[in-house]
Amino acid sequence: MGSGNWSTNVYDAAQSLNARMGRSAFDYSDSTRGSIPRDKWAAHADLDPRGVGVRESRDSDEHPTSLAISVLFDVTGSMGSVPVTLQTKLPELFGLLLRKGYVDHPQILFGAIGDATCDRVPLQVGQFESDNRMDDQLGNILLEGGGGGQKTESYELALYFMARHTELDCLDKRGKRGYLFIIGDEMPYNRVKRREVDAVIGDTIGEDIPIEAIVAELQRKFEVYYILPAGTSYVGDTEVLGIWRKLLRQNVIELDDLDAVCETIALTIGLAEDAIDLDEGLGHLRDVGAADNQVGSVSRALASYAEGRGGPVATTGSLPGLDGDAPAAGTTRL
């Protein structure tokens, strides 16, 4: 997968068509929730993880140096607005990654995470795409909005799938890991349960896998980040953040402006790729029309990350809102 090129014109045309037809960008979710009994809800065929084999990010003549980028988000409870924000901000994400030269050949996969203990559709995983088919993958996600009412969702099941059901040419051919961003506000369960792997994905594993073990396996394939956005149930929760810091260390981002999620992902990749320093990235945000408060939030968030990578810290004097409280140690805050 991953042929073709993403086009803002195609994206805009699809948005216009949806508006004329009186439907949202998430028509599959709307139609499922509006006309099908809940006990019959199912993942769209393009995102059903059961028995799919692998999701592939492959090189081609068109994209000779593909880079796998995955964005998986919790769709339970208060997290339901995240995919809507992602869908509306796709032009900004691609404007930064491609037109600003952060990545030559990104291939992006979207997926959704629920709770395997109670949800009808606890995991949805699209394909790596380079063109506007990724818009369709995002739009075909079922926004179930369930969850179990506690501080845990089945993130570990998604981590298992990404560790064992993806193949990346960037890794296999060039020894370069892909990127995986998890957007959520709760904790993973403490182990990958074999019965859930069988029921949801169709794999048979001999025993449950501790969360630490599956994260370590996943990190051989992806650079993994966790983003906890504002406006969600457990924003700022020290227990949730503590678990993720233990697993991912400095790759934990507290996001106080959900509208900056795509910009955050893009600049994080740009910094990790050594394509920009932070000042350059903040300038690029202005170029694509980011609001001053978003630029300020990104600057505060990524200053310690940029400094830790040995890059220059952003000049803050001309940016509004940059003198907020410092983030807790070990956490990047946005």
Q: What is the CATH number of the domain that holds 59?
A: 3.40.50.410
Task: Look at residue 285 and tell me if it is in a domain.
Answer: no
Measuring CA to CA, which residue among 133, 115, 109 is closest to residue 4?
Answer: 133
Residue 148 lies in a domain: yes
Whether residue 300 lies inside any domain: the answer is no
Structure tokens at 333: 């805050």
| pLDDT, tens digit (0-9, with 9 covering 90-100), for 43-70 | 999 999 998 899 999 999 999 999 999 9
pLDDT band at 148 (very low <50, low <70, confident <90, very high): low
Task: Specify the pLDDT at position 2.
Answer: 57
Q: How confident is the model at residue 320 (pLDDT cuts 50, 70, 90)?
A: very low
Is residue 226, in this structure, part of any structural domain at all? yes
* Angle made by CA atoms 327, 332, 334, in degrees to the nearest 5: 85
pLDDT in tens, 84-130: 888 788 877 887 888 889 999 999 999 999 999 999 999 999 999 98
Length of the chain (residues)? 334
Q: Tell me whether residue 282 is in a domain.
A: no
Domain count, the chain: 1
Mean pLDDT across the chain, nearest whole number?
A: 86
pLDDT of residue 331: 44
pLDDT at position 333: 42
**169: in domain:** yes
Domain for residue 331, yes or no?
A: no
**In a domain? residue 296:** no
pLDDT at 266: 93
Question: Who has greater pLDDT, 24 or 34?
Answer: 34
Task: Specify the pairing of strand 123-125 against strand 106-113.
Answer: antiparallel
Q: What is the pLDDT of residues 252-286, one digit of tens each?
A: 988 888 888 888 899 999 999 999 999 999 999 99
| Residue span of the structural domain in which 132 resides | 8-276
Structure tokens at 293: 């408060």
Q: How far is CA 102 from CA 198, 222, 240, 269, in A?
A: 39, 17, 31, 7
Q: How confident is the model at residue 322 (pLDDT cuts 50, 70, 90)?
A: very low
3-state SS assignment for residue 48: coil
